Amino acid sequence: MTHGIRTTHPQHSPTAEEKAAAALLAKGRARDASQAAAIVAAGTALVLAPVDPAVFRPAAPVPAPTVPGCTAILLAHATLRAQADTTARVRAHLGYHPAWTPRAHLGETSRRIQAWDQRELNALHERLGGEVTAREVTRTAGRTTWTATEITLTVDVPGVGPVTVSTDWDEESGGHDLPLARGLALPTVTV
């Protein structure tokens, strides 16, 4: 046997093909050995190379987690709770439905509310009293602009303070005889 090539007879001399195969096998082993030596040398160099431990530490110490996030959540909750309490007091004082909340899309808040019309506003005035004022305002919707008379009822709600309920005066639905309208300079339509 020569270089792992088996021969059928001990005295048999290898053929040219067998010699070529043996040479390739020997060359492959040498290449494998040189690659293994290169890997060992590179590994040894990596292990023995000096390592700076600062590379593995952050440049500046990481600050401890702070509480502002939690504080902000608690403050937001307290603010929402206060708004809900204010809304509940206004709702109860005005006699509104238990599910009533300010309509933000109309610009309402717990302290500034819009009534449907002067009759609804008059009913609140008769029940609760308060100060009634009127003023000229300019309204816009899209490209249309007009002047309206806004009637505002200001009521003092216990634990909340002044709350305003307002609506635009609608001459066509009448109402000059309403107690709300007495003493106000409201426009009249002449036909």
Q: Residue 171: its pLDDT value, please?
A: 80
Q: How far is CA 24 from the centre of its chain?
A: 69
Query: Looking at the domain assignment, is residue 154 inside a domain?
Result: yes
For residues 120 and 171, membership in a common domain is answered with: yes
pLDDT along the chain (191 residues), means of 10: 54 69 65 70 68 68 66 81 95 95 94 94 94 93 93 96 95 81 70 47
Query: Looking at the domain assignment, is residue 124 inside a domain?
Result: yes
The C-alpha atoms of residue 140 and residue 167 are separated, in whole angstroms, by: 15
**Could you give the residue ranges of the DSSP H alpha helices within 49-67?**
none
* Terminal C-alpha separation, the chain: 130
The C-alpha atoms of residue 191 and residue 185 are separated, in whole angstroms, by: 19
The C-alpha atoms of residue 48 and residue 91 are separated, in whole angstroms, by: 79
Query: Looking at the domain assignment, is residue 165 inside a domain?
Result: yes
For residues 74 and 51, membership in a common domain is answered with: no
For residues 109 and 150, membership in a common domain is answered with: yes
Q: What is the pTM of this model?
A: 0.59
Computed over its alpha carbons, how large is the radius of gyration of the chain? 46
Query: Looking at the domain assignment, is residue 33 inside a domain?
Result: yes
Q: The domain containing residue 25 runs over which residues?
A: 1-57
Q: Which of 57, 84, 105 is a domain's end point?
A: 57
For residues 39 and 87, membership in a common domain is answered with: no
Is the distance from CB of 156 to CB of 130 less than 8 angstroms? yes
Q: Residue 55: its pLDDT value, please?
A: 66
Q: How far is CA 76 from the centre of its chain?
A: 13
For residues 52 and 82, membership in a common domain is answered with: no
Q: Residue 191: its pLDDT value, please?
A: 47
For residues 75 and 115, membership in a common domain is answered with: yes
Q: Residue 135: its pLDDT value, please?
A: 93
The C-alpha atoms of residue 90 and residue 161 are separated, in whole angstroms, by: 10
Q: Residue 26: its pLDDT value, please?
A: 66
Give how many domains the chain has, as a whole number.
2
For residues 108 and 173, membership in a common domain is answered with: yes
For residues 73 and 95, membership in a common domain is answered with: yes
Query: Looking at the domain assignment, is residue 191 inside a domain?
Result: no
Name, in order, each residue with C-beta under 8 angstroms of 188's C-beta and a sequence gap of 6 or more. 171, 176
Query: Looking at the domain assignment, is residue 190 inside a domain?
Result: no
Q: Residue 184: its pLDDT value, please?
A: 80
Helix, strand, or coil here: 78?
A: helix
For residues 5 and 95, membership in a common domain is answered with: no
Q: Residue 186: its pLDDT value, please?
A: 72
